[in-house]
Structure 1
């Protein structure tokens, strides 16, 4: 089960890259746009910097769970965090384009994530990972559209 699972999508937003970055790197706002992650908070009053930790609360119709994440990159152009950490990598990248900003959201299950799913779900791991991939493939475009709407209505 070492196959790569990843997905990314992009959207053009009519706003400056700095504005887009400031919004997407504020994890406390995640519940405004994510279809699954209802809220996030910085651990111990931290903020959007490499090495910072945050916790997220996720909700689906059949379950609710929390994750801890470690920010890996927070440089004004990219905001990347590792869930677990080391299991799943999520990222936002901002790039100036056509007088606005191209925002790209990416998701990737890392090797430790595959191992985690194998240990936790056994024979059901492939089905569980397939569901996570489907969630990313539908959730990322939905998230990007919501972020665009929020920013452009400001």
Structure 2
């Protein structure tokens, strides 16, 4: 099997798209759900397109930070951000929200690897050194993390 460059995971939630969007776009809460993200430094409130934030991450003994910029802030439909590290493009993460017809929402979390082009070998090396995950295993690790994140998000919104 070749390297995967993108991953998507979906889950149904008993919450309206607006509620899910508000939770996800309040990126300072990401540490509550993500198994890698421990904290986010950002301004208060839902972030808008173009705004930046810093994520502090941990996986086992590995600790690292990333800088991100919101690329999509389409109220109640989609929220996405681009992750950079040391000035190199790393990934795009996002969430799409679709009403399910019963007052709930199907939430799809997606990830796309941006480590291509001239800086890719260095970006891949940084990723392996800081996260402990080789580039060819990143998609698998993200798929597992997405399932955990979406499950925790669903629990938080159901409470």
Structure 1 length-normalised TM: 0.85
Q: In 2, are the aligned partners of 1:58 and 1:64 still within 8 Å (CA)?
A: yes
124, 136, 142: which is aligned to 1:136? 142
Is 48-57 or 93-102 further displaced after alignment? 93-102
* TM-aligned CA deviation for residue 144 of structure 1: 0.4
- Equivalent in the alignment of 1:58: 57
98, 101, 112: which is aligned to 2:101? 98
Q: In 2, are the aligned partners of 1:117 and 1:129 still within 8 Å (CA)?
A: no
* Structure 2, unpaired ranges of 5+: none
Q: How many residue pairs were aligned?
A: 148
Please state whether the residue corresponding to 2:34 is helix, strand or coil. Answer: coil
Q: 1:137 to 1:116 in 2, by over 3 A?
A: farther
115, 139, 158: which is aligned to 1:152? 158
Q: In 2, are the aligned partners of 1:31 and 1:38 still within 8 Å (CA)?
A: yes
**Higher helix share goes to which structure?**
1
Please state whether the residue corresponding to 1:87 is helix, strand or coil. Answer: strand
**Alignment RMSD, CA only?**
2.5
Structure 2 length-normalised TM: 0.83
* TM-aligned CA deviation for residue 65 of structure 1: 0.6
